Chains A and B, each alone.
Chain A
C-alpha cells in the first residue's frame, strides 16, 4: 500500500499568516492527490483534487501543488474559519489512503 505522510502534525499560526502543509507519498502517484478540511464534530470537506484543482466553492486563498511524491497545501492568508485539521489522500489505485492529518491551531 502507498503510505502518505504529512508534516507537520501540528502547526501554530495566526490570522493572516501564510501556511504550508506538506504531504509525501511512499511511491509516485502522479497528481492523484486530494486535500480535505475537517473541523471538530464535522465530516470532512473536499477542498482540492488532482493535486491543485480547487473544488467548486473553495476560497482562492487555498492552493495545492506538487506531483510524484511530494505535495503541498498552502493557505495564502489564514482566516479564522481555516483553523481545522487537514488531510491529504491519494487515489492512485483502488486502495486509497489518507495522511495522518495536520492540525492548524
Chain B
C-alpha cells in the first residue's frame, strides 16, 4: 500500500523559513517523480514543485521560484520542501504526491494527507 507521511508544517512569521518532509513507502521511491501541491484555505489546487526520480531535475512554480527548494533522499525514501522568505500568501495546506508516469512531466496518483503552513505575524 502506498503511503506518504507528511510532517513539518506550522506557524511561521513572514520572512521566516520552514521545512516540510514526506516519507514514502509501498512503492519504488527512486523510480517516481515527487510533487508538491498546495491549497490555500477555501481555494483550489496549485502546483508548487516537482523533483525527478534521481533528484537531478527540479521545477518550480513562478510563485515560489528562488524561495523554495525541493530535494529527495532515495536512500531514505524521503522528499523535502525547504521554504524560505515565506509570505502571507504562502499560507496553505501542502500536499506531497507521487508521480504517476515515468519522468518529470506527470500527474499525481497518490497524495499525502497534507500539512498546514500558516504564515502570519
Spell out B's residues near A (CB within 8 Å).
37, 44-47, 50, 59, 61-62, 95, 100-101, 104-114
Contacts and interface: CB of A to CB of B under 8 A. Distances in A.
Given A97-B47, A98-B44, A43 B111 contact: yes
Contacts of B95: 43-44
Contacts of A101: 44-45
Interface stretch (A20-28, A66-74, A86-94): A86-94
A46 B100 contact: yes
B107 A49 contact: yes
Contacts of A7: none
Contact of A89 (B62, B107, B110, B113): B107
10 contacts: A1-B62, A38-B45, A43-B111, A43-B113, A46-B111, A49-B100, A49-B101, A55-B109, A89-B107, A94-B105
A98 B88 CA distance: 22
A94 B50 contact: yes
Interface residues of A, number: 24
A44 B111 contact: yes
Contacts of A98: 44-47
A100 B44 CA distance: 6
Nearest to A38: B45
Contacts of A1: 62
Q: Quick one: which of B45, B95, B112 has the most chain A CB within 10 A?
A: B45
Interface in A1-51: 1, 32, 34, 36, 38, 43-46, 49
A64 interface: no
A87 B44 contact: yes
A38 B43 CA distance: 12
A44 B50 contact: no
Contact of A46 (B44, B61, B107): B107
B5 to A, nearest CB: 12
